[in-house]
Structure 1
């Protein structure tokens, strides 16, 4: 069964979607490991509640965080890494040795790249009066939001769409897209 490590910086809502799909039998995966660069991340508490080993790895906890993350991925037998709102660039060593998957809150290649994450994406979409937005699940390489697209799901924006309302809609679509992408990847 494929083993998926989660890297998250805050809440890890995508992690929760994968965990729930795993528990319900929609996904045949194991999630043995959660890593955050943020010692106060809620995702660490969630992982503890789920009985999953979790670690805060950053420059305060490891002299070389990337090397420590790679060590843990090997130790826990992970072949996949899912970035659930992970706010650090992934080292080339990790992207070359593991299948790293990311969820981006827009339809790439639009609204991708350095600095384009979370609310910043939704603000740009609203500012540009877009009619459609969505979610892209993609492989991660050495460039921000540049890897092979696995799956995209789009949604129409309302005339009165706000950054807040779009963010809520995107998070709902994202939960579905993440599970569908992993179903496609591991089948």
Structure 2
């Protein structure tokens, strides 16, 4: 039976697009829905262009979670994937998807995680700290930012003189390669 995946994203949606494309030809699962908390998030355009239903919810809807949860149920979502989603997931949604909701973080957790640590902020902190490696962490989502059980980590070097943008490029390559494969293994 083909599983239905929902992708939650807040930004441009490159990871969401990569995941949608990956599952297009798979029998195991498909991206059936994209949800966002930002009305002007470019992920909405990407999803529409790829024929995936997408819905924007206002901040108040995310805080209560009821309308979001009913939409997930309406689309018969089996598994939830966070891909650059920059809001806290309400407890009622977390409890509806125990061990069926994952996130990707652009560092080797537990380092450089937590509220407010995303995107270039993470890469800047990694470089400023003098770390020699960084990477991605794919983990289960729980009530605390970036503290769910770790599923997978992949590493890349931090090179002398790296800019946050250069490090981000290596991180994105890891995300695009590994995130869809890990999702497929879990669904």
TM range (shorter): over 0.9
- Structure 2 gaps, min length 5: none
Normalised by the length of structure 1, the TM-score is 0.93
Match of 1:180 in 2: 181
Per the alignment, in what secondary structure is the counterpart of residue 19 of structure 1? helix
Match of 1:141 in 2: 142
Per the alignment, in what secondary structure is the counterpart of residue 94 of structure 1? helix
Q: Deviations over 1:125-184 (max 9, x none)?
A: 000111000000111000000101111100112112111100111111111120121132
> 1:52-71 maps to which residues of 2 (within 5 A)?
52-59=52-59, 62=61, 66-71=65-70
In structure 2, how many angstroms separate the alpha carbons of the residues matched to 1:152 and 1:64?
30
Q: Deviations over 1:80-127 (max 9, x none)?
A: 111111111001111111121101000011111111111111000000
Distance apart, 1:59 and its partner CA:
3.6
RMSD: 1.6
Per the alignment, in what secondary structure is the counterpart of residue 9 of structure 1? coil
Per the alignment, in what secondary structure is the counterpart of residue 55 of structure 1? strand
In structure 2, how many angstroms separate the alpha carbons of the residues matched to 1:133 and 1:41?
27
- Structure 1 gaps, min length 5: none
> Does residue 1:33 correspond to 2:41, yes or no?
no
* Contact 1:3/1:31 (<8 A) preserved: yes
Match of 1:80 in 2: 79
> Does residue 1:109 correspond to 2:110, yes or no?
yes
In structure 1, how many angstroms separate the alpha carbons of the residues matched to 2:146 and 2:153?
13
Per the alignment, in what secondary structure is the counterpart of residue 44 of structure 1? helix
